[in-house]
Chains A and B, each alone.
Chain A
Amino acid sequence: MDGVHDLGGLDGFGPVEHQASEPSFGEEWERRAFGLTGAVISAFGVNGGRFRHSIERMDPAHYLGSSYYEHWLTAAATLAVEAGAVTKDKLEARAEGRFPLSRPDRGAAPDDRTGRTEPRFAVGDRVRVREWHPSGHTRAPRYVQGKRGEVVRFDGAHNVPDIEAHGGGFVRDPTYSVAFTSRELWGEGGTDNETMHVDLWERYLEEDA
């Protein structure tokens, strides 16, 4: 989905607030949220696509206004509620206040569930990223959809997140690193001598005719 998580190229966030080093967890609740989320993922057998999508479904204002581990916590609670393990009411009663969860899943697994392992493209091939803006989970960022690039690396076949995220099972597809020039991505706003590489599943790509 073209959600608020799909941040590549957006403007207006200001400078990066960089720190040279920091502890793994700034606060105790972050430690607990990290451990808890891992336990929930394992208890409910949540795959990576489904977990990421449960974060992507957060209310956009909540997503941008909360930290990384609050995303994890919200995802863990959403997944537990969706699995029927607990209700939102019970969580709010126990937390003594509002407990925002992610929005319902509007996505569906794509129709093409054919697994493939043999790469259709070779290093050096010119490709175009399909432009389809699905309502469900995908790892094709908005900023490369419809853009043209060159295959620079083949990484073997991996489970398609768009399918696993929506209960479609584990279907493998060749995965590539594709290089895009800054000018291709950002047009007149682009810069010379900058190249962006995005790792993409084969079904996201078509031949650049």
Chain B
Amino acid sequence: MTTVEHDHGNEHHPDELAPIEARVAAIETVLVEKGIIDVDFDAVVRHFEDNVGPLNGAKVVAHAWTDPDYRARLLADGTAAIAELGFGGPEGDHMVVVENTRDVHNLVVCTLCSCYPWPTLGLPPKWYKSPAYRSRAVREPRALLAEMGTIVPDDVEIRVWDSSAEVRYLVLPMRPDGTDNMTEEALVGVVTRDSMIGVERL
């Protein structure tokens, strides 16, 4: 460790940035020793790893594809309809579901931070939190999508939803052609995380 002390009262000014692991350990151990936080926050973290993810959202979408009444409820009140399937909680308290059609393609972003519907999609992927995605999604969405391999024809309106307040968005993708004979259970496997953010068309 290299520490250079300057004459600024009692302050220490180390030169080298502490490794991220050491910084995490420093704040964690100090707060645990002082009894300010509990060391056992692992259970909460495991909940997000084990129980929450895009499979939840895929179940919502597949159900909407196979049950027109549910689809109507989902578009009218996303939070309540999603709760029917047992999903809800922080970052999912005010859900709005936006539907893709032949004329409209929806895309979700959070330009100010990384708001994301945790109960239906899990924690946001790295690229969703990246400056490149957050800056470009509202500036040149069609070009950005094309670059990501998703071609949206010029005559299809792109609607971008910047989740800047309390609402979290879920895209209801169009049911792909050739899936008429598939069961709801099988359809769940067709739905991707990216299609529910809007960076992919199924």
Chain A residues lying within 8 Å of B69, measured Cβ to Cβ, are none
Q: How far is the CA of A21 from the CA of B166 in the complex (A)?
A: 26
Question: Which of A80, A98, A177 sits near B18, CB closer than 8 Å?
Answer: A98
B120 within 8 A of partner (CB): no
Contact: A15 with B45, CB < 8 Å? no
Chain A residues lying within 8 Å of B48, measured Cβ to Cβ, are 24, 34
Contact: B49 with A17, CB < 8 Å? no
Q: B residues within 8 Å of A by Cβ?
A: 1, 3, 10-31, 34, 36-38, 41-42, 44-45, 48-49, 53, 94, 96, 111-114, 122-127, 129-136, 138-142, 144, 147-148, 154-167, 192-194, 199
Contact: B135 with A7, CB < 8 Å? yes
User: Smallest distance from the beta carbon of B155 to chain A beta carbons, Å?
Assistant: 7
Question: Which of B19, B49, B167 sits near A25, CB closer than 8 Å?
Answer: B49
Contact: B41 with A175, CB < 8 Å? no
Chain B residues lying within 8 Å of A24, measured Cβ to Cβ, are 48-49, 53, 122-123
Interface of A is mostly: mixed
Q: A residues within 8 Å of B by Cβ?
A: 5-11, 13-26, 28-29, 31-36, 38-40, 42-43, 52, 55, 64, 67-68, 70, 73, 76-77, 80, 85-86, 89-100, 139-141, 143, 153, 155-156, 158, 175, 177, 179, 185-186, 191-201
Contact: A5 with B113, CB < 8 Å? yes
Given contacts A96-B18, A141-B164, A199-B163, 18 further A-B contacts (CB under 8 A): A20-B192, A20-B194, A32-B25, A35-B41, A39-B31, A40-B31, A40-B37, A42-B37, A73-B27, A77-B27, A80-B30, A89-B11, A94-B25, A95-B23, A98-B17, A155-B96, A193-B158, A194-B141
